């Protein structure tokens, strides 16, 4: 079976460095908010290109704390609107509703599968306070039009960078540094993954950074002094050490993903399958390689029968989920098409060339 992503093999790529990092953290005797966190936060901020990085428990919390910090700072208040792509993973939207804010869903562009910047301005109202872009599948969602709209209307630009570690905009600026703040996930399957849950916020705003760090530490800026009603949401030392070890290889691993994607794009030849469009290879780190197929269920079963594991990202769009019952009658045709047809092919830096070739040959034989 060719796995969608063999995390054991991915970890083995840098096994020596990861084991040394874990040993160092374990032997230190300090397991929270210590030197490993300081090291990773500094290294990751330098890599992304921001002044600050604040580690936290997971990617959802990272987004929650950004929005909560803006509320504490008086930039937003409950009931304000945040524009977000309609086809995102639900965490992007959960972070908004968790803070009593109102998500405003905007359709994606069917060619890029990212938020359609041509539709954003018409969604802006006097209650809009931010645009949250999601670099879905590992592709840069930022456009100059979105940046200009934020300036024109005085909106915060928040990036959900959970799937795009190392991605570049116009070959120079990394996702996670393009807006006012960004949330990152280090879930094990991400391009930069820990050995469990982990997350971070990056920003150039010193006040936001301080409020986020305080909120994620029970609301405490000083031991036993609590400024906010916060929560415990901290990145532990072992995960921070592992992330530092893997960060050194992130660009190399992303290049390996691009080689897999390039082979797919050059060799998959089946009229029933729509391949992703790539115009800038630096602007995609291929966390996911999504194809569209009107007969997705048949194709997925065929691939399984032939020893290829695939995953659907994602089978049910957010506005059709039971947790948002008031939205279930809404219609977002482009989003619904993507969610009905998307299928993710095997993708990881550990894939062997013969595995990639086999996936292609099996796809091309499908009638």
* Mean pLDDT over each residue of the chain, to the nearest integer: 98
Per-residue pLDDT band at 58 (split at 50, 70, 90): very high
Per-residue pLDDT band at 50 (split at 50, 70, 90): very high
pLDDT value of residue 22 = 98
pLDDT value of residue 89 = 97
Residues making up the chain, counted from first to last: 367
CA 219 – CA 287 distance, rounded (Å): 33
Label residue 267 exposed, middle or buried (CB < 10 Å: 0-12, 13-18, 19+): middle
Backbone phi and psi for residue 92, each to the nearest 5 degrees, phi listed first: -60, -40
**DSSP states of 122-170:** GG--TTEEEEEEE-GGGB----HHHHHHHHHHT-EEEEE-TT-TT-EET
Over residues 252-277, mean pLDDT: 98
Tell me the pLDDT tens digit for each residue of 123-158. Answer: 999 999 999 999 999 999 999 999 999 999 999 999
The residue to which tokens 């115009």 are assigned: 279
pLDDT value of residue 21 = 98
Q: Which residue, among 147, 149, 142, has the nearest Cα to 174 in the 3D structure?
A: 142
Q: Could you give the maximum distance between any two Cα atoms of the chain, in Å?
A: 66
How far from 315 is each of 30, 189, 299, CA to CA, in Å? 42, 19, 15
Tell me the pLDDT tens digit for each residue of 269-324. Answer: 999 999 999 999 999 999 999 999 999 999 999 999 999 999 999 999 999 999 99
Inter-axis angle of helices 59-72 and 90-98, to 10 degrees? 30
Q: Which residue, among 104, 144, 97, 96, has the nearest Cα to 124 in the 3D structure?
A: 104
Tell me the pLDDT tens digit for each residue of 101-113. Answer: 999 999 999 999 9
pTM score: 0.97
- Take residue 211 and report the two structure tokens written for it: 């409020």
Q: Which residue, among 223, 178, 179, 207, has the nearest Cα to 69 in the 3D structure?
A: 207
């Amino acid at each position: 079976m060719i796995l969608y992503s063999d995390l054991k093999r991915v970890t083995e790529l840098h096994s020596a460095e990861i084991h040394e990092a874990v040993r160092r953290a374990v032997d230190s005797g300090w397991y929270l908010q210590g030197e490993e966190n300081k090291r990773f936060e500094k290294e990751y901020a330098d890599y992304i290109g921001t002044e600050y990085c604040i580690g936290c428990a997971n990617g959802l919390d990272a987004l929650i704390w950004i929005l909560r910090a803006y509320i504490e700072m008086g930039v937003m208040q409950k009931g304000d609107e945040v524009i977000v792509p309609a086809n995102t993973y639900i965490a992007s939207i959960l972070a908004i509703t968790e803070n009593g804010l109102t998500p405003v869903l905007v359709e994606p562009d069917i060619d890029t599968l990212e938020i359609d910047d041509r539709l954003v301005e018409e969604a802006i109202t006097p209650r809009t306070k931010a645009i949250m872009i999601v670099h879905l599948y590992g592709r840069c969602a930022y456009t100059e039009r979105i940046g200009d709209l934020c300036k024109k209307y005085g909106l915060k630009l928040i990036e959900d960078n959970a799937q795009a570690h190392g991605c570049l905009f116009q070959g120079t600026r990394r996702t996670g540094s393009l807006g006012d703040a960004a949330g990152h996930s280090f879930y094990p399957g991400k391009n930069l993954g820990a050995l469990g849950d982990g997350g971070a916020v990056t920003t150039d705003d010193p006040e936001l950074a301080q409020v986020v760090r305080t909120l994620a530490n029970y609301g405490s800026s000083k031991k036993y002094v609590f400024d906010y009603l916060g929560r415990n949401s901290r990145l532990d030392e072992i995960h921070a050490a592992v992330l530092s070890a893997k960060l050194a290889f992130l660009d190399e691993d992303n290049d390996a993903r691009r080689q897999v994607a390039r082979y797919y794009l050059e060799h998959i030849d089946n009229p029933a399958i729509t391949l992703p469009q790539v115009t800038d290879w630096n602007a995609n780190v291929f966390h996911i390689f999504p194809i569209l197929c009107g007969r997705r269920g048949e194709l997925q079963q065929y691939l399984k029968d032939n020893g290829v594991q695939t995953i659907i990202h994602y089978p049910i769009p957010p506005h059709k989920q039971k947790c948002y019952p008031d939205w279930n009658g809404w219609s977002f045709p482009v989003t619904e098409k993507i969610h009905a047809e998307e299928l993710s092919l095997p993708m990881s830096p550990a894939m062997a060339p013969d595995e990639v070739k086999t996936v292609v040959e099996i796809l091309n034989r499908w009638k």
